[in-house]
């Protein structure tokens, strides 16, 4: 992780107007400007999309185009020296990553979430504000763990699943499902991605 200067952002046309004030960054255009950015010497990128699958797709597009994905870490995030953080990952204020945790690429660890020791968080996961993973939890690719959810130790959450806000996970969660409640129960399946 290093220090970078923000050149601006690429925003698809439908979001151009709303993105500019929120990001406080110059909108450089849409995806069609990738090649021009590269030619002008921009070699690093960060994908700031909340949707897990969309974030992974766009990150792949940038990587194939030759950009190096960088991570963004808020100065008030806490990361154990024995934890590993993948490229393109963001850690918001108050996020905590404890000893031996492994965080994949293009992950969002949102405000005040807690990832305890020896957790494995796969690529493209979004851990929402205030969510807590106890020790040795495994979270599969592209999964969304909702606001204030709690996952008990040694649980496994499959890929492309959703853990609803405030849910308490006390049993393993399979791939492609939505779980909600206390304790968390499957309420529906998600089409294969």
Report DSSP state, residue 144.
E
Compute how many other C-beta atoms are within 10 angstroms of the C-beta atom of residue 38: 15
Cβ neighbours for 36, distance < 8 A, ≥ 6 positions apart: none
Q: Which helix (H) or strand (E) holds 119?
A: none
Distance of alpha carbon 145 from alpha carbon 131, whole angstroms = 7
CB contact at 8 A, 101 and 81: no
Q: Is residue 183 reached through a cis peptide bond, with omega within 30 degrees of 0 on the bond before it?
A: yes
* Two tokens, residue 43: 């070699």
Distance of alpha carbon 112 from alpha carbon 149, whole angstroms = 12
Which DSSP string do the residues of 67-122 spell out, in sequence order? PEE--EE-TT-EE-TT-EE-TT-EE-TT-EE-TT-EE-SS-EE-TT-EE-TT-EE-
Active site residues: 117
């Amino acid at each position: 992780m290093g220090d970078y200067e923000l050149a601006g952002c690429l925003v698809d046309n439908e979001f151009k107007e709303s993105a500019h004030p929120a990001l406080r960054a110059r909108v450089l255009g849409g995806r069609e400007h990738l090649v021009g950015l590269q030619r002008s010497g921009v070699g690093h990128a960060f994908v700031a999309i909340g949707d897990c699958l969309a974030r992974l797709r766009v990150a792949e597009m940038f990587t194939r185009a030759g950009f190096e994905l960088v991570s963004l870490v808020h100065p008030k995030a806490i990361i154990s020296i024995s934890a590993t953080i993948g490229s393109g990952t963001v850690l918001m204020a108050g996020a905590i990553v404890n000893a031996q945790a492994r965080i994949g690429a293009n992950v969002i660890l949102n405000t005040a979430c807690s990832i305890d020791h020896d957790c494995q968080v796969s690529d493209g996961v979004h851990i929402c504000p205030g969510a807590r993973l106890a020790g040795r939890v495994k979270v599969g690719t592209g999964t969304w763990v909702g606001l204030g959810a709690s996952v008990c130790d040694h649980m496994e959450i499959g890929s492309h699943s959703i853990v609803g806000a405030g849910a308490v996970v006390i049993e393993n969660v399979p791939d492609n499902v939505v779980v909600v409640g206390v304790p968390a129960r499957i309420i529906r399946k998600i089409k294969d991605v």
